[in-house]
Amino acid sequence: MLCKSGLRVLCAGIFLAGVLCFGQTSTTALSGTVYDASGAVVVGANVTFVNDATGVPLKQVTNSAGLYSFPSIGVGTYTLTVEMTGFKTVRRTGITLVVGTPAVENVTLELGDTREVVKVEASAAPINTATATLGNVVEHQAVASLPLNGRNPLNLIVLEPGVQQNSGTTLTVNGSRSMAGNVTIDGIEANEASNPVPTNNVFRINPDNVEEFKVTTSNPTPEEGKNSGLNVSIATRSGTNDFHFSAIDYFRNSVLNANEYYANAQGNPRTNIHSNQYGFDVGGPIKRNKTFFYGAWQGQQVNLALAIDKAFGSIPRVYTPTALSGVYRYFVANLSNPLLINGQKILQNSPLLVNPDGSLAAGVRNCGSPTDLNCIQTYNMFTNDPLHIGGDPTVLKQLKSYPGPNNYTSGDGLNIAGFLWNTPYEVRGPRKLIRIDHVLNSANSIFFRVMWAEEDQLKGDPLNSRPAIFPGFPPRGEVYRPAQNYALSWRRVLSPTMVNELTLGFARFSFDFTYIDSNPDAASLPRWTFNNADVSYVNQPHTIRWLNTPQLIDNFSWTRGAHQLKFGYNMRLYQQNNQTGTAASQGLVPSISLSQSLNPPGAAFNLPTVGASAIASADNTRLLGAINDLLGIPANLRSAFLGNLNTDTFIGTQSGNYYTLWATGERLKQFNFYGQDEWRARRNLTVIYGVRWEVNRPPTESSEPVYVPNKPMDGSQGPVTFVRGNSWWQRSNIDAFAPRIGISWSPLGSKTVIHAGYGIAFDPVVTYPAGAAANSIPGVSYTCTATTYASTSVGCASVPNVRLSQSFPSSLPPPSLKPSSFLSPPPALLGVAPNAFVLDQNMHQATVHQWNFSIQRQLPYDMVIQVAYVGNRGERLYSQLDANQIGAAPILPQFLSMQSNVAKGCRPDGSGCPAGVAGASIPLVTSGILTSAFVNSSATLTDLAQNAAGNFAGRIEQTTLAAHLRPNQQFGSIIVMSNAADSIYHSLQTTLRKRFGNGLLFNFAYTFSKVIDDQSGDPVGTSFTPTSTATIDSNNLRNERARADFDQKHVMILTWIYELPFGKGQKWMSNAPKALNAIFGGWSLQGFNSTMSGQPFSITSGAKTAFYSSSATVNSRAVIVGNTLPSNSLHSKAGVIGPVYFDDTSAFALAAPGSTGMGRNMFNGPWYWDMDGSISKTFSATERVRITFRMEAFNALNHTNFRALKNATVGSTSILSSNFGLAGNQTLATSTSTSIVSNGEAYRVAQAVLRVAF
């Protein structure tokens, strides 16, 4: 290879340098060229650069190209002084350096005496003349002043062009996926490694801790950005030569809040919330110009009471007192003259039969005789017990300990009702930060920073539907989220042209979901599940996940002529340690099912007759469930066992009060190198080029061996056996080189810059898929199901056919099987064969090409406008597909024949035809593969009516192996994570910014874009997401190519901070008396507005017309009736609370058997519009003490936004659903009623702020 000049040094640096790193730290850089009046460069000029806050000087001498450079320096305001014999001294003040954004300050010297000083004030609105990177620095004024819900400064990310926010907290940037982002704090990673969503703020940094942060959205330089999406670099605050102190209190309750749309429409009260976030920060010198400290502490006390149906997902079900006494009530209707209540026919049990207190409604009576109609009959479950045991005392004790019903609108009104209340929960957890900066000498400086945080949900976990469902009972779960983040950095000036920055860091974050362990009586709680009632606990032990990231970073900078060379290295050692109460999707705590569908009470119970003028079918089902519940009649006992593949034995999971949990430890080692040359080719032309080399090793396992398939999972090369491996896939990916280049050209002078850039970025796999693969190895667990009514699982002990009260066992001994026997499973029926999740053994890193072209122009009044074209092409993106999907094609002709038979009046198998009609024979039946009973069953009739050929094929595989419809009958589904997906993105992005000055800051950003893909989300588990966006045909991703799920055509963001020009130091009333100044001075307005077009969605048929997968929702999409795409605008519909998208399903039809329906994402969701705002008043108590009071309002105008149908809380995209077309209240994050950390609110939420500072 031939390398010349700076390129030669760049090549040598990449391949030979020992101190290499990636430079996404919290520092920045300044460089420039010194000229004389003729334009010639000045060599040997003395350049001094002083931090105004700390007084620490840095010194340089211009080189042979007249260039000086100060790399790896802290953010802040500086003064630059340039001295040279024979020239006047130039002193340029007010130079503001921002994080991750190198600045350029060229200086022209005038002839004269060095004692003459030319003072220049730096420009307040600089434009980027150094790089083609797109992004923005969010300055401290915005972080400190804008209303931030939950005090999360990362919420400001959404204000940048190219950012598209999705339902929930996830966001995408310039067409990249939601997990393609990276956040660092002082250079150290600050992500949840298993799910790196930038706005999650897992280390709970708050606005007081942030000096500023940079958001890079496209074309980062080689030294910054390991991902294709957002790269966020946060610089924490540090101490200065001046002491400062501030204290804050953020308070909110429900007084000024609005009500949620649907709650208000139904007359329900507002959510009760009481929140306090309070704290202080302090900083200053330990030794002036030498050592500085900064510290911060924030506490929080958040108390909420949430309606139980929102927290739990439904109103908890309880038995009525009458039912608990053994008496089951049911309504018998006179079909020829039915009872009418409020105009509705009563044909079975109904909440309309009772008053709000549970007493019988007017006109409703008990039956006077067994043959009486339009009345309520009774059946005594205890006296009809053929064993004369009656109610189970333990069951009745448990059920009677729960409160009686107070809501009869749920359940059947007579036997089962609801308990409605506001369940309380709390959010607690302090946040602490300490930072020390120390200047050792003129060549060496260090800093150390540590953060601790907790975010604990106590007395309930409503975010995951685990609240306390009854008063006085422990919650169904709590969550503990401790986090720590450490950084230690050393900057050393090696020579006048060489600087090195070494940073060590460690990040640790964990989740602990307590489940049943939140109950102090967990070990003694019964393990059964009821048919008709809810229990106060979750039958699962805790799940905990620890995420550790040790990190080493080194940046080396070398100035040589007109080249600024940089080399770097970043080592990240991700560790995800898991302990969970489930393995292979099986709970590890024994459970007893009382299911009536599995073990229905028999004729010996003298049950009522089902039919017309008798007990209705739905009421009879509830009766059977009540008998099993109250009499304690078990259907089966399930016990899960962990497989130890080292000892080849299964072990039990419970010993006394302790559980053995399933444990895994995923390890990802990432070694990233870069080399970069910033070349000042001309005075108005800068070129930055270089390459990243990302050696991201395949994940490994720390505790148990890795097991991978020895052959393709589809069975094309014979039976598959899982064998030991060294890592979860074999490809090393050491060839991951990512070249990048950026050009900045100012052909019209320093106020206009043209940028162009291109680069490649890689998105490495997160830790979660490896854990999912470890949890899916055949043999890691085995569940014994011992039944009282049928056969028991192979190798497992049986249970006696007795009641709970007759010493029914609570657990089973380990099975006699060997875990190793499962590593090569034999063919088995679908539903019996294990499901598999594997990682492609030839896995590549997702590769994204990025490019942009932009023009930036400095305008009067400190404003900058930029217009940019931004493109993005994703290749080898991560996908998740079922390699064992069952297609309808082999049985489709027979399915159509069966439909034809039914249309003729015959049975599906061609028998039972009307006179003179001949039905077609079905080879599946005549060959003996299927029975006539199966083909003529009600389930098959439903499949035929719904064109569900795919579902019928799946049912065949659940019945027989003879049809061979699965590619590999060793397994159920085979979910394979690989690189089959791709995407393309184009956009026009326009920004107009004014940095804070003269009391005003504003940013306007508009993005016009389109992104097309075939899968929109990175895999995070072992199955497809069961939504309208799931892939239908795993063998034909081309069929899924359409607008991405997160595509938004228009996004407009406006941000403002405006200090009203009244009072001391302002334009008007600047000399006002103290009393008037206290009234009129110190007022300011802050806020931002978001306006976004809707995201696309699909209309599904609700039926599997073409394919079946046991781990995926592969319902085909519907088809359009006619040739016109129906409108889906929100509108009102009589009898429905809230708007709907469609009045009915008349515009749609089921897809034909064997087809997948219309294209993906053909409909648009509604526009989203929201404004958060605040007004503040600052008082000057003394010369140094300032008191600020601020009122903030999120969703200030109480504008209700409705969800796209695919995300609707109630509505459904399925034309077979009774909720088809209904909308749901939209928030772009979890609303305040469940979490104070959010980006958007469903209704207005107000907050008062008090700040004292000096």
Q: pLDDT at residue 16 above 60? A: no
Say how far apart CA 145 and CA 775 lie, in whole Å: 46
Residues 6+ apart with CB under 8 A from 495: none
Six token digits for residue 511: 């989740």
Q: How many residues does the chain have?
A: 1254
Q: Is the pLDDT reported for residue 343 higher than 80?
A: yes
What does the pLDDT read at residue 1240?
62
* Residues linked to residue 482 through DSSP beta bridges, in sequence order: 454
Cβ proximity of 462 and 500 under 8 Å: no
Cα 1056 from Cα 1048, distance rounded (Å):
24
**Mean pLDDT across 606-629:** 94
Q: What is the pLDDT of residue 288?
A: 92
Q: Any bridge partners for residue 80, and if so which?
A: 49, 92
The pLDDT assigned to 1024 comes to 45
pLDDT in the model for residue 1208: 61
Contacting residues for 502 by C-beta, under 8 A, at least 6 apart: 19, 489, 490, 492, 552, 553, 554, 555
State the average pLDDT over residues 663-688: 93
Q: Is the pLDDT of residue 338 over 60?
A: yes
What is the pLDDT, as a whole number, of residue 356?
93
Mean pLDDT to the nearest integer, 477-486:
94
Q: Residue 1022: pLDDT band by 50, 70, 90 thresholds?
A: low
Give mean pLDDT, residues 983-1010: 93
Does any domain span residue 342? Answer: yes
| pLDDT at residue 1209 tops 90 | no
As given in the structure block, the two tokens for residue 177 are: 């996926």
Q: Is residue 658 one of the residues assigned to a domain? A: no
pLDDT at 155 over 90: no
Tokens found for residue 506: 């460690």
pLDDT value, residue 323:
97
Q: Which of 959, 985, 1018 is the last residue of a domain?
A: 959
Q: What is the total count of domains within the chain?
A: 3
Mean of pLDDT values over 928-948: 96
List the single range of 388-402, 695-709, 751-765, 909-923 with lowest mean pLDDT.
Answer: 695-709
Q: For residue 1181, count other CB atoms closer than 10 A to its CB.
A: 10
Separation between Cα atoms, residue 729 and residue 845, nearest integer Å = 12
Residue 594, pLDDT score: 95
In a domain, 1081, yes or no: no
Residue 1113 lies in a domain: no
- Dist CA 938 CA 951 (whole Å): 13
**Residue 815 has what DSSP assignment?**
P
Question: Which pLDDT score is estimated for 722?
Answer: 95
Quick check: is 229 in a domain? no
Q: What is the tens place of the pLDDT at every residue in 438-456?
A: 999 989 999 999 999 999 9
The gap between the terminal CA atoms of the chain, to the nearest Å, is 61
pLDDT band of residue 788 (cuts 50, 70, 90) is confident
For 261-316, what is each residue's pLDDT tens digit?
777 877 778 888 889 999 999 999 999 999 999 999 999 999 988 888 888 888 99
- Provide the pLDDT for residue 412: 94
User: pLDDT higher for 1228 or 552?
Assistant: 552
**Any residues with CB less than 8 A from the CB of 1020 and at least 6 apart, and which?**
179, 194, 195, 766, 768, 769
Confidence (pLDDT) at 17: 37
Residue 73 lies in a domain: yes
Task: Say if 396 falls within a structural domain.
Answer: yes
Q: Which residues of 1145-1155 are buried (b: 16+ CB within 10 A; e: fewer)?
A: bebbbbbbbbb
| Percent of the chain surpassing pLDDT 70 | 94
Hey, what amino acid is at 23?
A: G
Spatial distance between the Cα atoms of 718 and 833, rounded to a whole number of angstroms: 17
More confident residue, 862 or 350: 350
Q: Are 699 and 767 in contact (CB under 8 A)?
A: yes
Please identify, among 90, 121, 152, the residue that sits at the C-terminal boundary of a domain: 121
Of 78-82, 167-171, 246-250, the least confident: 167-171
CATH number at residue 45: 2.60.40.10
Tokens 């797109």 sit on residue: 134
848: pLDDT strictly greater than 70: yes
CB atoms within 10 A of CB 963: 18
Give the pair of three-digit tokens for residue 933. Answer: 């009973």
Rounded-to-integer distance, Cα 866 and Cα 133, Å: 13
pLDDT of the residue at 126: 65
The pLDDT value given to residue 10: 37
The pLDDT value given to residue 705 = 81
Give the range among 269-273, 376-380, 1203-1207 with minimum mean pLDDT: 1203-1207
* Residue 6 confidence (pLDDT) above 50: no
For the residues 378-393, what does the mean pLDDT come to? 96
Question: Residue 476: what pLDDT?
Answer: 92
Query: What is the pLDDT at residue 5?
Result: 38
Q: Average pLDDT in the 111-133 region?
A: 75
In sequence order, the 6+-apart residues with CB closer than 8 A to the CB of 1094 are: 1048, 1164, 1165, 1166, 1167, 1168, 1204
Q: Please, what is the angle between helix 892-903 and helix 949-959, to 10°?
A: 110
Global pTM reads: 0.88
Which of 582, 615, 631 terminates a domain? The answer is 631
Domain that holds residue 405: 317-418+595-631
Could you tell me what percent of the chain has a pLDDT over 90? Answer: 57
Does residue 732 carry a pLDDT above 50? yes
What are the pLDDT digits (tens) for 896-908? 999 999 999 999 9
Q: For residue 507, list its beta bridge partners.
A: 485, 549
In a domain, 669, yes or no: no
Average per-residue pLDDT for the chain: 88
Q: What residues contact residue 41 under an 8 Å CB cut-off, 6+ apart?
A: 33, 34, 35, 62, 65, 66, 67
Using the predicted structure, report yes or no on whether residue 1212 has a pLDDT greater than 90.
Answer: no
Whether the CB-CB separation of 1222 and 1210 falls below 8 Å is answered with yes
> What pLDDT does 692 receive?
96
